[in-house]
Structure 1
Amino acid sequence: MKTYRTYLFDFDYTLADSSKGIVMCYRIVLERHGHTGISDEEIKRTIGKTLVESFSILSGVTDAGILETYRKEYVKEADKYMTANTRLFLETAEVLAKLKAQGAKIGIISTKYRYRIMELLSHALPEGTIDLIVGGEDVQTPKPSPEGVFLALEKLNAEKTSTLYIGDSTVDAETARAAGTDFAGVLHGTTTREELAAYPHVDVMKDLTKLL
């Protein structure tokens, strides 16, 4: 794999495993409203989508007002449980530190709220490791829209041709394709190698160490 000047990462299932907290918060809200019999795996398969999209998939509800109620309830639960139940993958800190030492710019593009990512990373990574976080509240249109990537490229003064987008899901692959950047998949999540390889990619990696 060639060396890039800018690396843009998805967060959940790419840099960190927050699936325990995510499942917990979805289950609390879903069961509160009578949506039972939903497996952990079904919930995990929605990671990377917006909260509204995920709740609609999991519950079958399409009413925008009800879904917004679910979203707000999830956020309240996540304020209590998410950070304590999120861990960086074992190689994340080392890989980011080495990329940074090589002079690369590092950004995060996520549907997760920026403040929640910052809360976790403030305890897990040295200050200055991440140059930019684009969270769900920073864009009008979520992934796979390229809006977040374009915003990051602008703020980091980065070129598409020297930027690699790294993610675990087909949503991430679609985002990179829409933005016109190279894409590398990572198999930390529930998406298979075959699913990721169906999209334009420079690599589908077992973990992030391949970036080095």
Structure 2
Amino acid sequence: MRNYDVILFDLDGTLTDSAPGILNSVRYACRKLGLEMPAEATLRKFLGPPLIESFRTLLGLSDADANRAVSAFREYFPETGIFENEVYPGVPALLADLKAAGKTVILATSKPEAFAKRIMEHFDLAQHCDFICGATLDETRTDKAEVIAYALETAGITDKTGIVMVGDREHDVLGAKKNGLPCIGAVYGYGTAGELTNAGAAALADTVDELHKLLLG
């Protein structure tokens, strides 16, 4: 694995295990809208992709109902669901070691940026990031490729040499690819090795320790 100078990280399923809060927020939205509660397997598919896309494709909602579902989700998430979440063991040390090695660390998440900043500050991870970049609350920037492009622009990066994305779902790999970047798949997150490999991941990390070795040797 080559030496990277700039590392972009996904958040959910890569730095933190946010599944409980996200799934509880989806359940709340379904109850609020009077929808049939999805099976657990369907609920798990909400982990990773942009939220409005998931309500449309997984539950078959119209654009209007998907927007209503997102609004209901956000009644629960900012107050309760946001902190039904925990940092993966080894992540604080990984981020600290990357900064100590002089790397640029950027968060690039499809979670709304305001929520991402609160989470990173709550878990004391923001101190290790040069930039925290996310989606917009009005859904005008949710696609992972758009978020990555926004993160690179925010950081003032035009030379893409020595840059890598780290994420746990195919959306991370494909979003990185659209921006001309390789992606390391975090298999310990919500995706699978097969999903990440099929999407074109440059390498896979089964654990945070393996990711540490890939990024720092």
Same-fold status (TM-score > 0.5): yes
Residue 93 in structure 1 maps to residue 92 in structure 2:
yes
What is the CA-CA distance between 1:199 and the residue it aligns to? 2.8
Q: Deviation per CA, 1:107-166, whole angstroms, max 9, x where unpaired?
A: 11111111212112213225531111111118844324x222222223323331210101
Where does residue 16 of structure 2 map in the other structure? Answer: 16
Q: Is the partner of 2:79 in helix, strand or coil?
A: helix
- Does the 8 A contact of 2:188 with 2:208 survive in 1? no
Where does residue 133 of structure 1 map in the other structure? Answer: 132
Instruction: In structure 1, list runs of 5 or more residues that go unmatched.
Output: none
Where does residue 109 of structure 1 map in the other structure? Answer: 108
Moved more, 26-35 or 175-184: 26-35
Q: Counterpart of 1:39 in structure 2: which amino acid?
A: A
> Distance in 2 between the 1:127 and 1:174 partners?
26
Where does residue 168 of structure 1 map in the other structure? Answer: 168
Q: Is the partner of 1:180 in helix, strand or coil?
A: coil
- Does the 8 A contact of 1:23 with 1:40 survive in 2? no
Q: Is the partner of 2:204 in helix, strand or coil?
A: strand
Q: Is the partner of 2:47 in helix, strand or coil?
A: coil
- Does the 8 A contact of 2:173 with 2:196 survive in 1? yes
Seen in structure 2, the aligned counterparts of structure 1 residues 175 and 75 have a Cα distance that, compared at 3 Å, is: same
Where does residue 192 of structure 1 map in the other structure? Answer: 192
Seen in structure 2, the aligned counterparts of structure 1 residues 123 and 34 have a Cα distance that, compared at 3 Å, is: closer
> Distance in 2 between the 1:189 and 1:163 partners?
21
Where does residue 70 of structure 2 map in the other structure? Answer: 71
TM-score (norm 1): 0.91
Q: Counterpart of 2:207 in structure 1: which amino acid?
A: D
What is the CA-CA distance between 1:36 and the residue it aligns to? 2.3
Instruction: In structure 2, list runs of 5 or more residues that go unmatched.
Output: none
> Distance in 2 between the 1:137 and 1:37 partners?
27
Where does residue 208 of structure 1 map in the other structure? Answer: 208
What is the CA-CA distance between 1:69 and the residue it aligns to? 1.2
Where does residue 56 of structure 2 map in the other structure? Answer: 56
Q: Is the partner of 1:80 in helix, strand or coil?
A: coil
> Distance in 2 between the 1:151 and 1:140 partners?
12
- Does the 8 A contact of 1:107 with 1:130 survive in 2? yes
Moved more, 155-164 or 68-77: 155-164
Q: Deviation per CA, 1:5-56, whole angstroms, max 9, x where unpaired?
A: 1000111101111100011010011123232241233112122222211112
Q: Which contiguous aligned blocks of 4+ residues in structure 1 show a shift greater than 4 angstroms?
A: none
> Distance in 2 between the 1:155 and 1:33 partners?
37
TM-score (norm 2): 0.89
> Distance in 1 between the 2:69 and 2:171 partners?
22
Q: Counterpart of 1:129 in structure 2: which amino acid?
A: H
> Distance in 2 between the 1:177 and 1:186 partners?
16
Moved more, 33-42 or 5-14: 33-42
- Does the 8 A contact of 2:32 with 2:72 survive in 1? no
Where does residue 152 of structure 1 map in the other structure? Answer: 151
- Does the 8 A contact of 1:10 with 1:109 survive in 2? yes
Q: Is the partner of 2:136 in helix, strand or coil?
A: helix
Q: Is the partner of 1:161 in helix, strand or coil?
A: coil
- Does the 8 A contact of 1:48 with 1:110 survive in 2? no
- Does the 8 A contact of 1:16 with 1:87 survive in 2? yes
What is the CA-CA distance between 1:173 and the residue it aligns to? 0.8
How many residue pairs match? The answer is 210
- Does the 8 A contact of 2:188 with 2:206 survive in 1? yes
Q: Is the partner of 1:190 in helix, strand or coil?
A: coil
